Structures are given as structure tokens and as C-alpha cells.
Amino acid sequence: MNIPGYLYVEFISLLASLHLLFRKNTPFYLKLFSPYLLLTLIVEITSWQMINNQVNSSDLIFPFSAFEFEFYLFILYHIIQTPGIKKAVLYALVIYPLLAVFNIYYLQAGVFPSFTYSLGCLLIVTICIYYFYELFHLPSSVNLLREPAFWICTGLLFFYICSLPLFGMYSLIYRATTIIMENISVILTVMNVLLYTLFTVAFLCVVRFRKPILKS
């Protein structure tokens, strides 16, 4: 069995995040990535094995997709600085899971929950765009190369902008030809690889390497 390539990238990202648990002055939201990535790996490996064994994995994947949005909304809540926007994100944190549960188990029961997935994409994209607006209006300059939030929001923005048309219209494309579905699978793999690569950069950019002392 061929293990999907993006799972290796997720595992590398998990390893890169572990040092944040023991690093002093690490923002709380960054420390949450280690358990989140571990859970993500467990869920995706389990789902991959279920699919290989021709077992329906929707009961696992659909609720977890809602949990992913909830997690990222929580991360963005800690990244955003503007009080009014933080309050709006907090409202989304409370309301979104209620809508997701209703949609997954009642409104779109048994099929991909494209309604709440699209809503989650729009929320993440909107908040990430606001983050960049907020970033470029700071009174002082920021070294973006060493700013974890920048890399996280860049990854989320790219991933959910691209996944919105794919998953938002899932009900229309899931019956597409095998070639189209294979191409979509390749696109999703590239998107996942980029997302977790940028997460890895975010985890490692806070590390400062000392320059070697040259002896005369």
C-alpha cells in the first residue's frame, strides 16, 4: 500500500512542533499544534486504512473537518489583535460547531457537508485576510521571516482559498470521471504539502541559531 505523501509532511510538521512545548515564552496557540497534528495524523491514517479496506470513513472525516475549522478559528482568535474582530471570531467559535453538527447529522446527513465546509472556508479566509491588513498597518515593522503567525495565516489562506471551490461544489464533482478525480487528488496533495510545510516553517522560524565563534 502506498502511503499518501502528505502524511510524511504532516509527520515532519509534528516533529518540528514538539520543541515548542518546552520552549520558554512560546505563545499558547503554538503549543496547541503538537496535540492537534498528532490527532490529525491518527484520524487521517485511520481514514486512509478504512478506505483501503472499502469501509466508509465519512463518520470519522465529516465531524473532524468541523473540528479542524474550530481549531483554526481558535488559533486565529489568538493571532488577531483588534478587539472588535476578536469578539466576532469568538462568536464564530460558539456558533459554527452548532451549525456544523446540525448540517452533518440532519441537513446534509450521509453526504459531504458542503454547506458548513464552505462557511468554514469563508470564515478562515476572511480572518486571514484581515490578519494581513492588521499586519501591514502596525506602527512598527515586523520581521516576517521570524513571525510564526505570518506563516500559519499564509498556509491557511492558500489552502482554504483553493479548497473552497473543490469541496464547496463536491456534490457536483464527486461523480466526475476517474481522470478528473485523480487530478483533484493530486491538487489536494499539493495543497496539503504546502500547508504543512508552511506550518513547519512557522514552528522552526522562532529558533535562533548562534553564529560559530571564529578562533584566530
- 216 domain residue, yes or no: no
3-state helix, strand, coil in the chain (%, to 5): 75, 0, 25
> Nearest 5°: CA angle at 33, between 28 and 34?
110
pLDDT truncated to tens, each residue of the chain (216 aa)?
577 788 999 999 999 999 999 888 889 999 999 999 999 999 999 998 988 888 888 889 989 999 999 999 999 999 999 999 999 999 999 999 999 999 999 988 878 888 999 999 999 999 999 999 998 888 777 788 889 999 999 999 999 999 888 776 665 555 555 666 677 778 888 999 999 999 999 999 887 655 444 444
User: In angstroms, rounded to a whole number, what is the distance separating the alpha carbons of residues 154 and 46?
Assistant: 28
DSSP per residue, 108-127: TTTS--HHHHHHHHHHHHHH
- 210 domain residue, yes or no: no
Cell readout for 102 is 446540525
**Hey, how many other C-beta atoms are within 10 angstroms of the C-beta on 200?**
20
Domain range for 64 is: 5-204
Q: 56-84: b or e for each residue (b if 16 or more CB lie within 10 Å)?
A: ebeeebbbbbbebbbbbbbbbbebbeeee
pLDDT digit string, tens, across residues 49-81: 988 888 888 889 989 999 999 999 999 999 999
The predicted model scores a pTM of: 0.90
Domain count, the chain: 1
- 99 domain residue, yes or no: yes
- 40 domain residue, yes or no: yes
- 215 domain residue, yes or no: no
User: In angstroms, rounded to a whole number, what is the distance separating the alpha carbons of residues 106 and 104?
Assistant: 6
